Amino acid sequence: MERKDFLKNGFMAALGFAAIAPLTSACKKESTDGTSTGSGTCTTSPAETAGPFPTKTPSSLVSADIRSDRTGTPLTIKITINNKNANCAALAGAIVDIWHCDKDGYYSEYGGSGMQSANFTSVHFLRGRQVTDANGLVQFTSIFPGWYSGRAPHIHVHVYSAGGTSLLVTQIAFPTNVSDIVYTTATNYYTRGKQDTSNTSDNVFSDSLASELATVSGSVSAGYTLTHLITVAA
């Protein structure tokens, strides 16, 4: 099954991996506590699918620098976690897992199938786990992700409580103007050109972009910094 077919059809898979949320339809919006999602008020961030390439053993990938051998435009990722149930105060001690594709649109831990032809089943690049500090902040060193057909550029995030209870699986979108610069001028990215799916037509972000769009600053030469706020009900 092609990735684009998974995304269109909301394919369900029983993965059987520990500490991974069940896959849900990529088009389906969920709420972790029954409240509406949105920006500008103390509401939970949108819940999204973890698939089709969730991290298989996230607890073994405690790392701030998740690049491994992947090359690309440098990206510093700063994610702040707030707690809706504490008037959106910073949530210290939360466990945050992230994962995203490389500059060519490939994920580690998967491959050799119709979903992803390139086989990276034995490596773990661009996946990592950190614990939020007193300000609810985690930071990762990575590269600007590429794109693959049917999806806008994105980062997956899974937030757990300090005790390991799943609080939220969500995704982060990139500003199109920044993505366009990277994909048309940065070394090796321009071989594929601009993304084929916009944020507004993406089946994850189309109805929740205001809540999931990151702030990204910097340049191709100096690298970029992404900042984003995620609110959970802990």
pLDDT at 158: 98
Question: In CATH, what number does 3-232 get?
Answer: 2.60.130.10
Virtual CA dihedral for 176, 181, 186, 188, nearest 10 degrees? 50
Question: Cβ distance 229 to 46 under 8 Å?
Answer: no
pLDDT at position 3: 57
Both tokens assigned to 178: 């920044």
In single-letter form, the type of residue at position 135 comes to: N
Give the whole-angstrom CA distance, residue 151 versus residue 202: 6
Averages of pLDDT over runs of 10 residues in the chain (234 residues) are 48 33 35 38 93 96 98 98 97 98 98 93 98 98 97 98 98 98 96 96 97 98 98 98
Q: What is the pLDDT of residue 18?
A: 34
CA 175/CA 155 separation, integer angstroms: 13
pTM for the model: 0.86
Q: Where are the domains of the chain?
A: 3-232
Quick one: pLDDT at residue 165? 98
Contacts of 41 (CB under 8 A, 6+ apart): none
Residue 103: name the closest of 146, 69, 68 by CA: 146
CB 25 within 8 A of CB 49: yes
Dump the DSSP string for 168-204: EEEEEE--HHHHHHHHHHSTTGGGT-S-SS-TTT-TT
Identify which of 206, 208, 218, 213 has the alpha carbon closest to the alpha carbon of residue 228.
213
**Dihedral-angle region of residue 221 (phi above 0 means left; psi in -120 to 50 means alpha; beta otherwise):** alpha
Strands 154-160 and 95-99: antiparallel
Are 111 and 119 within 8 A, CB to CB? yes
